[in-house]
Amino acid sequence: MAKNLDQVKELRDRTGCGLMDCKHALAEANDDLDKAIELLRKKSMAKVETKATRATLQGGIGFYQHHNGMGGAMVEVNCETDFVARTPEFQALLRDLSQHVYAASPQFVARAEVSEARVAAEREIYKEQVKDKPAKAQEKIIAGKVDGFFKDVCLLEQPFVKDPKKSIEQLVKDAIARLGENISIRRFARLEVGVGK
């Protein structure tokens, strides 16, 4: 029993899931910690998908000011209730996202915000870059470069600066799974002294 309690605690520490969810996952996985983590991740992602259409009318604004005082960022993140917006986990997400926006300089929240004209202009640049490649490979290379462009400029697709193995979209999905509410990034702003309009 003591071993099982230690496993439940470790599973909870590693996943952030509730005590009973961890206990049930361990039982279902026959006390195999890695299988239990995989089960919890699958269940969490299923929950995330069901929450994706729920309205996010509450939330908060995260601020980050660079240590030299010469720049900073703000990000508005929405959730379903003011209760969740006040939790330490949500506040930590706000801090992480505002810090990321300053460090990574995204231009858009998601692909849908990028104009067709901008994507077409990028494709033309890439066509010119690969014109000497075999015709069959050109379109595949261009598609890969367009995906790379979106990863550079779209906040949700960027690798999280504190954990590059995870995208910002995954960071938000993990928060949805932990907090039990839909969460969305609405907008952001990045300022730097002497840079910009």
pLDDT by residue (tens digit) across 41-51? 767 655 545 55
Q: Are strands 163-167 and 58-65 parallel, antiparallel or unpaired?
A: unpaired
Residues 8, 38, single domain; the answer is: yes
* Tokens describing residue 87: 């939790």
Residues 121, 45, single domain; the answer is: no
Residues 156-191 pLDDT 10s: 999 999 999 999 999 999 898 888 888 999 999 999
Final residue in a domain of this structure, among 30, 51, 72: 51
- What total of structural domains would you count in the chain? 3
Residue 79 — very low, low, confident or very high, per pLDDT cuts 50/70/90?
very high
Residues 14, 93, single domain; the answer is: no
Residues 64, 120, single domain; the answer is: no
> Exposure pattern of 169-183 as b/e (b: 16+ CB <10 Å)?
bebbbbbbbbbbbbb
Residues 89, 126, single domain; the answer is: no
Strand-pairing partners, residue 192, are: 71, 195
Residues 169, 134, single domain; the answer is: no
**pLDDT computed for residue 144 by the predictor:** 92
Q: Which of 12, 187, 17, 19 is nearest to 109 (CA)?
A: 187
Q: Is residue 197 part of a domain?
A: no
Q: Is residue 169 part of a domain?
A: yes
Residues 139, 167, single domain; the answer is: no
Question: Is residue 2 predicted with pLDDT exceeding 50?
Answer: no
Residue range 38-62: average pLDDT? 69
